[in-house]
A = this chain, B = another copy of it.
């Protein structure tokens, strides 16, 4: 269990690092090949190609950084684990300023070839867009 928690913590750090480099395909590689991405105000998506395109689009819209902080991890053993967490997105707005959006997420993790990967990822904001 402590091992699962540590693997998730490390992958979340990697997510943030890869995101900050603007590497959408690298972010998508942290998900299983048939993972579900469930972004706010968009239809559900599935698979590496769709997930790469989504994160590339987010980066193109000015999202420069995404940090993930675990609140709770649970697992009954086996190859599944669940994570509840909170995120911060940092977005560059016209003029060059940065605004932050905070929110919460649930990720279903799956052991895929010996590596814990995001298998389903849903999130939403803590406040309507335009309000911190």
Residue A123 is within 8 A (CB to CB) of chain B in the complex: yes
Residues of chain B within 8 A (CB-CB) of A104 are: 38, 44, 122
Q: Which of these, B79, B84, B108, B124, contacts A40 with CB under 8 Å?
A: B124
- A81-125 CB mask vs B (1 if < 8 Å, else 0) is 010101000000000000000001110100000000000101111
Residues of chain B within 8 A (CB-CB) of A123 are: 122, 124
Residue positions of A touching B, CB distance < 8 A:
36, 38-44, 74-80, 82, 84, 86, 104-106, 108, 120, 122-128
7 new A-B contacts, CB < 8 A, other than A38-B106, A42-B126, A104-B122, are A38-B104, A40-B40, A41-B128, A42-B127, A44-B104, A84-B108, A122-B122
